[in-house]
Amino acid sequence: MSDEPVDPKNITRLDEGVEPGVWRYARAERATVMIDAADYFAAMQAAMLEARHRIFLVGWDFDTRIHLADGRRWWQRAYSSKHPSRLGSFIAWLSRNRPTMEIRILKWSFGVFKFAMRGSMWMDLVRWAPHRRIDFKFDSAHAVGCCHHQKIAVLDNRLAVCGGIDMTVKRWDTREHKEVDERRTTPRGEQYGPWHDASMMMEGEIAEALSELGRDRWIKAGGVPLLPLKPREDSLWPEGLRAGFENVEIGIARTCSAYRDWDEVTEIAELFVNHIKRAQHHIYAESQYFASRVVTEAIMARLDEDDPPEIVIVHPEHADGWLEKQAMDHARAELVRCVEAAPNGDRFTIWCPQTGETPIYVHAKIMIVDDQILRIGSANLNNRSLGLDSECDVFIDSTREGNGHAADEIRRIRLSLLAEHCGLEEEAMPELLDHHGSMAALIEASDGGARKLKRYVAPELEAVQETIARSQLLDPENPEAMFEPFAEGGLFRKGTRLGRIRARLRRKQKQ
């Protein structure tokens, strides 16, 4: 469990991307999108019970005090009397009962400060110490101000997960997102609010590719290189879990800032721009933040063309935490104001989900383009995710050869998410969309129930808030700009669409 320095001779460099915005493509025999952590935690526990050789968990946070599954869910009932549901106890149980199993866990290093408030987690680490096949490591291999943000799990190099869900506190929720749910309780017994999230589970050679990516982070963090592992031939797929996709090619994209002798990787930023350019009809996205200059410029460029697509973003009402609000909320207000003032700005809307009178926090990172492309991962629509932090996204492009059959499921996922947020029946969504003609019109017409999407309206900012937003000080685009406000001109640099529209809005304010 030590954090040893990296020995450069142990580092096997990952190959460069196969095309702009893409590190690698790999096949998946099965894949499915897990929406919200109740189903995800339960499915992961069922899959880990089938693993026999290696469980490899890579995350921003990891808390051994959580319970993985609600005993009433169908896949948990078969195992509920045989093993503990508390994560720390479950990991120890696996080590005792799976003599061929090694368990490797990698967590962002800054979270070590949270451990002072997680007393029983310290006890878990002490309990794990005698188990030589359990290794828990902190990842500090990044530039100052950056973080390790990937959320990847790989089991026996056969089954993998990539998305936005960490195995930690305040993540568990169901798709009902009840305003009050007694099951949404922290290990200390405190209630927390509704939380929306998503990850993708995949089986096949895609697991080997994500394992390679995870092993690269493991070595950079000072871990002893993991021995080669031949993928399992039999399936670890949880029994009864619906596979939304079968026999598809999945792409992988990364973000990683330059550090030591490791090069910068900005595939995710490139992929966002490429996917936005390709949109002909609509883009549906979910993101924890909307603060990226690059993404906003790409959206405005597409809106400036003839017959632009409709763009709908589902997004939390406010960022979580005081500092995050200063960094993200103020930039969002400025960016949205500019997009709405741009040509065809009415084709762009942001919506905040609610259950009753309570906001639902959106942590999911999803984008669906024309019901042809589905991407999901750890990257948000902010500068950090595109240039600073270690991120990993996966995507399915139904226009690639052999992937045409995926389009129907991609459409189903978009309609299912809209139905969830609007409190509507999924089966009714095709007819409702045809009737209203756009996602925004459907959302506005459905407003009024317990579940709804509330239109985001950019607030007027005070002078200090506006300066923070324009400076990008708290959400820089690269590590060199971390402590340099207005680096390269800040959010509204000269010669850009944002800069020109911002200047026009300022002139109007002075008139």
User: What pLDDT does residue 13 have?
Assistant: 56
Strand pairing partners for 246? 30
pLDDT at 508 over 60: yes
Between 308 and 9, the higher pLDDT residue: 308
Q: What is the dihedral of CA 499, 505, 509, 511, to 10 degrees?
A: 100
Q: What is the pLDDT of residues 180-211, one digit of tens each?
A: 999 999 888 899 999 999 999 999 999 999 99
**pLDDT band, residue 113 (cuts 50/70/90):** low
**Confidence category of residue 119, pLDDT binned at 50, 70, 90:** low
**Domain spans of the chain?**
30-248, 265-510
- The dotted CATH code for 265-510 is 3.30.870.10
Task: Residue 450: name the closest of 421, 429, 414 by CA.
Answer: 421
pLDDT of the residue at 70: 58
Q: Which segments of 437-496 does DSSP mark as H helices, in order? A: 439-446, 463-471
Signed CA dihedral, 61, 64, 66, 69: sign only: positive
SS (H, E, C) 41-88: HHHHHHHHHHCCCEEEEEECCECCCCECCCCCCHHHHCCCCCCCCEHH
Q: Which residues in 275-301 are b (16+ Cβ under 10 Å) and which e?
A: bbebbeebbbbbbbbbbbbbbbbbbbe
- 22 vs 78: which has the higher pLDDT: 22
- Single-letter amino acid, residue 323: L
Supply φ then ψ for residue 14, to 5 degrees.
-70, 150
Please tell me the distance from the alpha carbon of residue 223 to that of residue 215, in angstroms, as a whole number.
9
* Rounded mean pLDDT, 72-101: 76
What does the pLDDT read at residue 127?
Answer: 85
**Tens digit of pLDDT for each residue in 317-333?**
999 988 889 989 999 99
Look at residue 116 in the predicted model and tell me its pLDDT.
Answer: 55
CB 267 within 8 A of CB 21: yes
Integer angstrom CA distances of residue 174 from 59, 196, 319: 21, 8, 21
User: Domain 30-248 in CATH: superfamily?
Assistant: Endonuclease Chain A (3.30.870.10)
Mean pLDDT in residue range 21-30: 98
Please determine whether the domains at 30-248 and 265-510 fall in the same fold group of CATH: yes
**Chain segment 252-280, per-residue pLDDT in tens:** 999 999 998 889 999 999 999 999 999 99
Poorest-pLDDT segment among 91-100, 111-120, 191-200: 111-120
Q: Which of 290, 309, 303, 285 is nearest to 345 (CA)?
A: 303
What pLDDT digit, counting tens, does each position of 341-353 carry?
Answer: 999 999 999 999 9
Q: 183-190 long-range CB contacts below 8 Å, 24 or more apart? A: 183/70, 187/63, 187/65, 187/66, 187/118, 187/120
Q: What is the pLDDT of residue 411?
A: 98
What pLDDT score was predicted for residue 399? 98
* Range of weakest confidence among 124-133, 218-227, 449-458: 124-133
Q: How confident is the model at residue 126 (pLDDT cuts 50, 70, 90)?
A: confident
Q: Mean pLDDT score of the chain, rounded to an integer? A: 91
**What is the structure's pLDDT at 75?**
42
* Closest alpha carbon to 107 in 144, 63, 76: 63
Cβ neighbours of 43 (radius 10 Å): 25
Q: What is the pLDDT of residue 3?
A: 37
pLDDT at residue 430 greater than cutoff 70 = yes
Using pLDDT thresholds of 50, 70 and 90, give the confidence band for residue 242: very high
Residue-wise pLDDT for 352-392, tens only, equals: 999 999 999 999 999 999 999 999 999 999 999 999 999 99
Closest CA to 88 of 50, 129, 31: 129
| CA distance readout (Å), 154 to 202, 226, 282 | 9, 13, 33
Lowest-confidence segment of 76-85, 226-235, 275-284, 415-424 by average pLDDT: 76-85
